[in-house]
Structure 1
Amino acid sequence: MTRIDRPCRPRRRRFGHRFSRTVTAAAALLITLTACGADGTAGPHSGASPKRKTPVWRTDPDSIAALGDSITVGFDACTVLSECREVSWATGTDPRVDSLAHRLVKRPAAHSWNLARTGALMSDLPGQVAAAVRRKPELVTVLIGANDACRPTTDAMTPTAAFRADFARSLTSLRRALPHTQVYVASVPDLLRLWSEGRKNPLGKEVWKLGICGSMLRDPDDLTKPAQDRRAAVRSRVVAYNAALAEVCGKDPLCRFDRSVFDYRFSGRQLSTWDWFHPGAGGQKELAELAFKVITRKES
Structure 2
Amino acid sequence: MGVGRQKGRVRFCAATVVTAAVLAGSGVLAGCGSSGGPPDGGASRRASPAPKPVPVWNRSPRSVAAVGDSITRGFDACVPFSDCPEVSWATGTDSGVDSLATRLVGAPTAAKRSWNEARSGARMADLPGQMAQAARRVPDLVTVMVGANDACQDSVDLMTPVADFRTSFTAAMRRLRTGAPKAQVYVSSVPDLKRLWSTGRDNPLGRQIWKLGICASMLGDSQDDGAAAQRRRATVYDRVVAYNGVLKDVCAKDVRCRYDGGAVFDFRFTGEQLSPWDWFHPSKDGQGELAEIAYRNVTALRAPA
TM-score after normalising by structure 2: 0.81
Contact 1:55 1:254 in 2 (8 A): no
Contact 1:122 1:144 in 2 (8 A): yes
Taking the aligned partners of 1:290 and 1:55, their CA distance within structure 2 comes to: 22
Please state how far the C-alpha of 1:299 moved relative to its aligned partner.
3.3
Unmatched runs of 5 consecutive residues or more in structure 1: 1-31, 42-49
Query: The residue matched to 2:112 in structure 1 has which SS?
Result: helix
Contact 2:132 2:179 in 1 (8 A): no
- From 276, 279, 291, the counterpart of 1:276: 279
In structure 2, the residue matched to 1:5 is none
In structure 2, the residue matched to 1:143 is 145
Please state how far the C-alpha of 1:53 moved relative to its aligned partner.
4.7
The amino acid across from 1:165 in the alignment is T
Q: What fraction of aligned residue pairs are identical, expressed as a percent?
A: 58
In structure 2, the residue matched to 1:134 is 136
TM-score after normalising by structure 1: 0.82
Q: How many residues align?
A: 257
Counterparts in 2 of 1:1-300, with a 5 A limit? Answer: 53=53, 55-106=55-106, 107-258=109-260, 259-299=262-302
Query: The residue matched to 1:240 in structure 2 has which SS?
Result: helix
Contact 1:64 1:111 in 2 (8 A): yes
Taking the aligned partners of 2:168 and 2:175, their CA distance within structure 1 comes to: 11
Taking the aligned partners of 1:63 and 1:239, their CA distance within structure 2 comes to: 30
Contact 1:55 1:253 in 2 (8 A): no
In structure 1, the residue matched to 2:21 is none
Question: How much is the aligned-residue C-alpha RMSD, in angstroms?
Answer: 2.0
Please state how far the C-alpha of 1:55 moved relative to its aligned partner.
4.8
The amino acid across from 1:166 in the alignment is S
Unmatched runs of 5 consecutive residues or more in structure 2: 1-26, 29-38, 45-49
Contact 2:185 2:256 in 1 (8 A): yes
Taking the aligned partners of 1:110 and 1:268, their CA distance within structure 2 comes to: 33
- Bigger-Rg structure (1/2): 1
Query: The residue matched to 1:289 in structure 2 has which SS?
Result: helix
The amino acid across from 2:231 in the alignment is D
